[in-house]
Structure 1
Amino acid sequence: MKIFNSNAASSDAQPSSLPTSAAAKKSGRHATKKKSNPTTQGLSAILTAMKSVARDECTRGTHDIPVNAIQLESYLTTKLGGAGNWTVTKTVTAGVTSEYFRGVNTTSGEQVFVKLAKPTKSGRIQDAGLLTGASEVEFYNTCNVSQEAATQRLPATNGICDNVRTPKCLIAEKSKHGSRYVVVLKDLAQNESANPIRLVQPGQQLPISDVQLILGALAKVHANYWQDEDSVPPIYTKRINRASKFVGLVIGKAIKENRTVGGLIEPGSDIDRITAATQKLGGICAMDALLDELHPDLRTLVHGDCHGGNIYMAGCEVGRAEVGLLDWQTYSFGNPLQDVASVLVMCLSVEDFAEHRDELTEYYLDALRARGVDINISKSMAHEALCLRTAYYLTGTLLGIAFVGLEDEERKAMMDRGWAMIAKKAKMLDLVTFLENRL
């Protein structure tokens, strides 16, 4: 078993500044205090995305990738073969970055879940600007394949490491410049009754036993890829660089629209100060960059968005199931505390967060050490991660609002509950002071 020593990162000293590390530069997450005008950066990112869409339109093979249900039915019949045709219906999920479909084979009854790029011109510009779909394609074709399948260049198995699941990927393709993609997964809804799937919902508050299972699974993934950047598809660096500019413009507009008396962002409130400070520090993408710069020796494959909607349990017994991770669109090679903090912020009740966050962090560290990673994380380091991810999710909620709006009452209620829950944890962490001290 390899032993990786990361004790150098254990200092309790609060940094007075945020230096730009060589590791952060290499990863593409270069956070600095002085930035050019975010509007200019955002418009530049949109122009780059528009060029990517135009280039894809002229690239051979782009139009083989489906963008609607009719094209998808033909695509599945051709690609998956076998007897019978496929029927496809659009489905609604909590996701905001893709179009979602379910397909059923008319003969075998086999079911698949499909993610496609958005079909409209503005949607394709968004996909080319964020590169989230293209990144997920690279993940499934690189990190989530067996050695035999990798040799044959075929998507394959349903596990990223031992006893940590991902949906079995049947097809993962993208256009050259990222404006179109298709990811075909075995539908988790069609699972053997002997090992039922329990989907966690966005914002769902989980019992401590489930949170421990999730943290234990993350420790396995993190240990498996510890300091192994060569095993992580490098497209994430392009995604982070491009998305940070694109997202900054969108969120800036959303802040202006929602910053009203009696509105989502009350002028002069803590939330107002948090969103303003987050934007001044570089936006939500910069939150992870700041954590990377503070602790450049902590590096592994990071999921990047471990909230409840991206987690499932295989097995019906609470506290004794295998954990599965969905939606690998924002993976990176970064600080594992991102994922730990995401779970604690997004999956714990406010009461459990207040009482158990320290012991759960230690539970994760013990699990990581058991996998051969010699690591020592101080309370101040864990606090930094919690603050930065809380800022990420609080301000990031505005991105979801910008992408899907609040016309859907069920979705609006879900976002309102999530916003209120994160805001309470932000107050508990004194997030305002943490962020403003770094301006």
Structure 2
Amino acid sequence: MGVESPLSSIRIPRVLDDVTFEWCAQHLEPIFRATLIDADIQPVGAGRIGTTVRVRLIWASERAASPPPSVVVKLVAQSAVARRAARTFGSYRAEVGFYLELAEHVGSRLPRCFIAAYESADRYCLVLEDMGDSEAGDQMRGCSPEEAEASLLELARLHASTSASSGIDIPSWLTPRRAIIESHEALTLAVRLSDRFWARFDDRLAPEVEEALTELAVQCDQNRPRLATLTSVLHGDFRTGNLLYGIGRPVVVDWQTVAVGNSVADLSYFVGTSISREKQRADHAIYIDTYVSALRSYGIQIDEQLLWADYARYALAGLAMAIVGWSLSERTPASDEMFAVMADRSAIHADELRNIS
């Protein structure tokens, strides 16, 4: 079952109400070669720059091989603020391009993609495998040690399978894309917006955030190019909230920030945003050893001294993402709290590494 191309004749839904029984029958019956008799459509998830719905499907029973009982459909965000953010970063085109041109080469566990279609910054659609009994990671709680280890193994699979030694062809549209977490332009934007962010959250941010904001400005001024530990495809927003757990290996979702860059940016960002510091400080050596050992099992040898330097260099990636994400997202109490927690953890992450060095 292949995916539709961005230039296919699919009728891309513009709003949630466009996903109807008739739409599902028109586009899903040819893929699954079955007759649809009912579809129950319910919003799910808490996507910041997209709308996600689960479609429960009832099929005629004449087929011996059963089509799926449900799928997940992703559309553009209903919020104008979120759509502007997606337009700014080319988010929808990137995610469609990922599923059309890269997904089959990626070693991480992914949902199967049945339809991927893009028309403009205001129209895109994905129809994905519904991962059943899985649960999205809890960004507020942070991940458990077991979830962290499993997540890092998936991250290593992504980087090993898309590094230069993998031999895959990187699509031309992806080569110039820079992930927000390592982009100097995004860093500059975060510094410019930092006063507004501090004014909004200073009464609930960790003490380390104030120093981290100063350090962020210094990094922005320096902007020195460096040799990357390992260059590969990056997820760009690899955190526990974008992983599905509970059904074996974690499933990696939300590829709207996909880019090519320094693999360690993904690594440091994950640890800095997804490991709760409420009970104990992060054991960075364990996380790095898990990641490096996994890379070596795939034949990737890296300079650990350079890796540690890059790991510290990207320690504030979560803070930059929190500021930029907050500024471009629809303001809700839940999103405000998530971005504040990301900022806290990232600042503490940087402080821990500063003390280690």
Q: Give the TM-score, by structure 2 length.
A: 0.78
Match for 1:394: what amino acid?
A: L
- Specify the alignment match of 1:295 in structure 2: 227
Higher mean C-alpha displacement, 396-405 vs 255-264: 255-264
- Specify the alignment match of 1:47 in structure 2: none
Q: 1:235–1:409: structure 2 CA closer, same or farther, 3 Å change rule?
A: same
State the alpha-carbon separation in 2 of the partners of residues 371 and 247 from structure 1.
32
Q: Select the residue among 270, 292, 295 that pairs with 2:211.
A: 270
Aligned to 2:304, the other structure's residue is in SS state coil
Contact 1:117-1:182 at 8 Å conserved across structures: yes
- Specify the alignment match of 2:343 in structure 1: 419
Q: 1:298–1:420: structure 2 CA closer, same or farther, 3 Å change rule?
A: closer
- Specify the alignment match of 2:294 in structure 1: 367
Contact 2:73-2:128 at 8 Å conserved across structures: yes
- Specify the alignment match of 1:114 in structure 2: 73
- Specify the alignment match of 1:77 in structure 2: 25
Q: 1:126–1:345: structure 2 CA closer, same or farther, 3 Å change rule?
A: closer
Q: Select the residue among 214, 234, 253 that pairs with 2:172.
A: 234
- Specify the alignment match of 1:258 in structure 2: 197
Matched, 1:386 2:312: yes
Aligned to 1:114, the other structure's residue is in SS state strand
State the alpha-carbon separation in 1 of the partners of residues 201 and 150 from structure 2.
40
Of the two structures, which has the highest relative contact order with CA contacts closer than 8 Å and spacing of 6 or more?
Answer: 1
Aligned to 1:201, the other structure's residue is in SS state coil
Q: 1:70–1:272: structure 2 CA closer, same or farther, 3 Å change rule?
A: same
State the alpha-carbon separation in 2 of the partners of residues 362 and 125 from structure 1.
39
Q: 1:363–1:135: structure 2 CA closer, same or farther, 3 Å change rule?
A: same
> How far off its partner does 1:197 sit?
2.1
> How far off its partner does 1:281 sit?
5.5
Match for 2:234: what amino acid?
A: V
State the alpha-carbon separation in 1 of the partners of residues 197 and 163 from structure 2.
41
- Specify the alignment match of 1:68 in structure 2: 15
Q: 1:225–1:184: structure 2 CA closer, same or farther, 3 Å change rule?
A: same
State the alpha-carbon separation in 1 of the partners of residues 10 and 193 from structure 2.
33
Q: Spell out the pairing of 1:154-303 with structure 2 (5 A cutoff).
A: 160-161=106-107, 164-175=108-119, 177-188=120-131, 191=132, 196-227=133-164, 228=166, 230-240=168-178, 251=190, 254-260=193-199, 263=202, 269-277=210-218, 279-280=220-221, 293-296=225-228, 298-303=230-235
Contact 1:229-1:333 at 8 Å conserved across structures: no
> How far off its partner does 1:405 sit?
4.4
State the alpha-carbon separation in 1 of the partners of residues 354 and 178 from structure 2.
27
Q: Select the residue among 343, 352, 356 that pairs with 1:428.
A: 352
State the alpha-carbon separation in 1 of the partners of residues 101 and 201 from structure 2.
48
Q: Select the residue among 87, 90, 98 that pairs with 1:128.
A: 87
Match for 2:73: what amino acid?
A: V
> How far off its partner does 1:110 sit?
2.7
> How far off its partner does 1:246 sit?
8.1
> How far off its partner does 1:393 sit?
1.1
> How far off its partner does 1:370 sit?
1.5
% identity of equivalent residues: 18
State the alpha-carbon separation in 1 of the partners of residues 38 and 185 from structure 2.
39
What's the CA shift string for 1:337-394, capped at 9, x where partnerless? 122222222232337874521232122212211211222321x532432332x32211
Contact 1:169-1:184 at 8 Å conserved across structures: yes
What's the CA shift string for 1:233-263, capped at 9, x where partnerless? 3323454399969857864664343343983
Contact 2:81-2:328 at 8 Å conserved across structures: no
State the alpha-carbon separation in 1 of the partners of residues 138 and 353 from structure 2.
24
What's the CA shift string for 1:315-349, capped at 9, x where partnerless? 3xxxxx31221111122232221222222222323
What's the CA shift string for 1:284-304, capped at 9, x where partnerless? xxxxxx6xx422462222222
Aligned to 2:199, the other structure's residue is in SS state coil
State the alpha-carbon separation in 2 of the partners of residues 348 and 255 from structure 1.
23
Q: 1:261–1:365: structure 2 CA closer, same or farther, 3 Å change rule?
A: closer
Q: Select the residue among 19, 44, 52 that pairs with 1:100.
A: 52
What's the CA shift string for 1:395-429, capped at 9, x where partnerless? 221223223344x3333333333332222223223
> How far off its partner does 1:309 sit?
0.6
State the alpha-carbon separation in 1 of the partners of residues 83 and 286 from structure 2.
44
State the alpha-carbon separation in 2 of the partners of residues 218 and 225 from structure 1.
11
> How far off its partner does 1:92 sit?
4.5
- Specify the alignment match of 2:39 in structure 1: 86
Q: Which runs of 5+ in 1 are unaligned?
A: 1-58, 147-159, 283-289, 316-320, 435-439
Match for 2:337: what amino acid?
A: A
Match for 2:15: what amino acid?
A: N
Contact 1:302-1:332 at 8 Å conserved across structures: yes
State the alpha-carbon separation in 2 of the partners of residues 409 and 198 from structure 1.
22
Q: Which runs of 5+ in 2 are unaligned?
A: 1-5, 30-34, 61-67
Contact 2:48-2:329 at 8 Å conserved across structures: yes
Q: 1:251–1:96: structure 2 CA closer, same or farther, 3 Å change rule?
A: farther
